[in-house]
Amino acid sequence: MTNITNLNFQSWRGYLELMRPANIVTAWADILVGFAASGSGFIFAQLINNSANFASLTPLAWLLLATTGLYGGGIVFNDVFDAELDRQERPSRAIPSGRVSRENAALLGSILFAIALFAASQVSWLSCAIAIFITFAALLYDSLGKHHPFFGPLNMGLCRGSNLLLGVSALPAIVWERWYLALIPVLYIAAITAISQGEVHGGKKITGVIALILIAIVLTAVLGLGIFTEYTVIAALPFAALLAVRVLPNFIQAAREPVPEKIRNAVKVGVLSLIILDATIAAGFAGLTYGLLVLILLPISMSFAKIFAVT
């Protein structure tokens, strides 16, 4: 009985490992910042003042479920496509270790994508269209894109940028006004994806330098949003400072000494710090309190990261 129980536990843990829970929490932050950028962030203030009810957050709930399925499905299929490579480079992962079969992993990924598309369709046709785009973009990255030094980072960046716009689609008409926000996570994720290409065998210094330049552009962009009247730089500034302090030292170390250990650390910090990036933009659009609401996701994600792998 003990062996059977242990086997079931290992199997369930394997499925959770495939989904990267810590990373999924960062995807929630994308939705929250998109929700704020759509102008819907005021709903939280109304809830505090009892001038709104929780039903007004229904679109947000559907979008959070949608992004859970999209990110979860995308990361599961990443391991499905990499199964043979992982047998050599990462034999402890769920599929090569035998705790989850490749077929069952593919089924899990498909179910997650189906849940995502259903959830997005409950908000608007535009939300569903964005979710469909993310699904295909994620599968393209998993199967082909990640093997290309330029299109791989761009592909992954488009997935995260589109995820932010999925949050904006809580008010579909605003997507066409705030489309430019997608460029910020595109650049940020491109930096992380670029430097991550050396996390197994080591990387090149030039890749680390390019990643640092992209991070610098991102930091400039989140403050540069102050040119828009609806964006308050002073509210975003503390979060931008936190982002710089957390990310830059790790990326500088990885650029100076591109060995696997330092690169993996930079990638892990970079992925989790997506929440800080989102909190920065959210604070600019919806105020300090809303930014702190998004930032609360960081310790949650870090807690998951101690249990489940991020990369």
Please give the Cα distance from 163 to 169 (Å, whole number): 10
Render pLDDT for 266-292 as a digit per residue (tens, 0 to 9).
Answer: 888 898 899 999 999 999 999 999 999
Q: If we measure between CA atoms, which residue out of 223, 163, 221 comes closest to residue 35?
A: 163
Residue 7 pLDDT grade (very low, low, confident, very high; cuts 50, 70, 90) = very low
Q: What is the pLDDT of residues 194-236, one digit of tens each?
A: 777 655 555 677 777 888 888 999 999 999 999 999 999 999 9
Number of domains in the chain: 1
Does a structural domain hold residue 5? no
Distances (CA, A) of 153 to 64, 143, 145, 147, 233: 24, 14, 8, 9, 28
pLDDT digits (tens, 9 = 90+) for 23-68: 999 999 999 999 999 988 777 666 666 666 677 889 999 999 999 9
Determine the structural domain holding residue 230 and report its residue range: 11-307
> What does the DSSP 8-state code read for residue 99?
S
**Which pLDDT band holds residue 310 (cuts at 50, 70, 90)?**
confident
Q: How far is CA 73 from the centre of its chain?
A: 13
List the CATH number of the domain containing 58: 1.10.357.140
For residue 3, is it within any domain? no
Q: Is 6 within the bounds of a domain? A: no
| Residue 6 DSSP SS3 | helix
pLDDT in tens, 112-133: 999 999 999 999 999 999 999 9
Q: Is residue 4 part of a domain?
A: no
What's the whole-number mean pLDDT along residues 80-89?
A: 90
Helices vs strands, H then E, count in the chain: 16, 0
